[in-house]
Amino acid sequence: MTKMTINIKMVKSLCSYQIPFRIITNIRKYGYSELIKLSRHTKQHEVDSMGRRVTVTVIVTVIVTVIVTLLFLLFTVPGCGKRVIDGQQIAKGEKIVIKFSHVVAENTPKGLAAQRFADLVRQRTGGYVEVQVFPNSSLYKDGEEFEALQNGSVQMIAPATSKMSMLDPAWQILDLPYAFRNLTEVHAMMDGTAGRKLFARLEEQGMLGLAMWDNGFKQITNNQHPLAQVKDFKDLTFRVMPSKVLENQFKQLGAAALPMPFSDVHQALADGSVDGEENTISNIYTQRFDQVQKYLTISNHGYIGYVVLSNSEFWNNLPAEVRKILEETLIEVTVWQQRKAEEVNNNHLEELKKQGQLKIHLLSPDEEKMWQQELLPVYDRLALEVGPEWADIIRGLKNNGR
Ligand code: SIN
């Protein structure tokens, strides 16, 4: 990243029309170099007619006026700073580059939101800020992203909340099975004290939580047989994201769980290292898990969402005006993203149905009740892991809708 230097010429061209001083009117009228010539001409004229003292006074007055005006312009004129990030005025190489790494496909809720953010930021800063999006683990995969963010190799990531448990196990409250009946309940929790506490604690790790993005609710695929009853899980192995809650969830149902990075899942399903996995429809569809799996159960048993993260030091050192544009754009993209996520998952489910590779079972209310009942001990184990500070929240989620 090269920091842009603000020179007099740039300031003149960016801000002159806002300054109510005569000198600036003259800059606008004559241009800066003409103004300098004007002052030289004045010098000759004054020497001829009134002598050296008057000349010096005029020159000093002009110079002081120019300096005071430029200082005034730089520090006080509203809107002037904003124009400093006008891409038209910036030489090649003078830009802020933000590398945004993520692990999913471009046409998923996260992939689309990251690209929309990049496009809007480019428009709104005239190219001064370039967000480069690296999808599909093309830069870093799960397990590498946090370190890359901390050491400054990338500036933004958006890991699934389950992966946040590697930093802080309390994030696993979002993994609890059947804790939320809809996305509104997830948003309410994350907008409340629990969400604020989780975000605040990220600062201790040098990270800044900028937004929460949705994907949606998880479904389960496998290669052996339809999953409807709890007994159907027996002796199967499922890939999970790195979260004790997710491991316990499958163990509680009689299966084994194997944590592995997202980028390895397709291959593991294809070569039989695992029998199945849990994911949102958009991830199942875009990773083409349907080509290596036979059965899909629509269970909506858990949530996948993302924390949009930056390195606090990087973010806090951005020029204030840039940070404001990025943060306002993120708010706007988050609202858009939360609507888009549901639409994308619905469309991809229709596609999966059309392609007909997977035999789809929709969990009945009775089956769901049995799964829910069987999974209750997972809550108690998380309560033990994260301690009394989270007891009320976990109890609330355990009783939610039951
Ligand atoms: C993601 O949606 O970012 C990845 C989910 C997974 O690892 O299964």
pLDDT > 60? residue 152: yes
Q: Which is it for the CA torsion 100, 106, 111, 116, positive or negative?
A: positive
Ligand 1 atom nearest residue 306's Cα: 3
* 216-237: average pLDDT: 98
Residues 191 and 185: their CA atoms lie apart, in Å, by: 10
Ligand 1 atom nearest residue 241's Cα: 7
- The Cβ of residue 156 has, within 10 Å, a number of other Cβ atoms equal to 26
**pLDDT confidence band for 57 (50 / 70 / 90):** low
Amino acid sitting at position 176? L
* 161-167: average pLDDT: 97
Please tell me if the CB atom of residue 310 comes closer than 6 angstroms to any atom of ligand 1. Answer: no
Share of the chain above pLDDT 70, in %: 77
Break the chain into its structural domains and give their ranges.
8-89, 159-402
* 354-366: average pLDDT: 98
pLDDT > 90? residue 195: yes
Q: Kind and range of the H or E element at 33?
A: helix 32-49
Please tell me if the CB atom of residue 215 comes closer than 6 angstroms to any atom of ligand 1. Answer: yes
Q: Which residue has its alpha carbon closest to ligand 1 atom 6?
A: 262
**Helices vs strands, H then E, count in the chain:** 18, 11
Residues 205 and 26: their CA atoms lie apart, in Å, by: 52
Residue whose tokens read 């946040």: 164
For the stretch 306-321, pLDDT in tens is 999 999 999 999 999 9
Please tell me if the CB atom of residue 304 comes closer than 6 angstroms to any atom of ligand 1. Answer: yes
Q: What is the pLDDT of residue 83?
A: 33
CB 378 within 8 A of CB 247: no
Mean pLDDT for the chain? 84
Q: What is the pLDDT of residue 63?
A: 64
Q: What is the pLDDT of residue 58?
A: 52
Please tell me if the CB atom of residue 382 comes closer than 6 angstroms to any atom of ligand 1. Answer: no
- The token pair that represents 123 in the structure block: 């428009």
Please tell me if the CB atom of residue 217 comes closer than 6 angstroms to any atom of ligand 1. Answer: no
Residues 172 and 313: their CA atoms lie apart, in Å, by: 26
Please tell me if the CB atom of residue 157 comes closer than 6 angstroms to any atom of ligand 1. Answer: no
* 87-102: average pLDDT: 76
Residues 263 and 293: their CA atoms lie apart, in Å, by: 16
Ligand 1 atom nearest residue 262's Cα: 7
pLDDT: is 68 or 255 the higher one? 255
Just give the CATH number of 159-402. Answer: 3.40.190.170
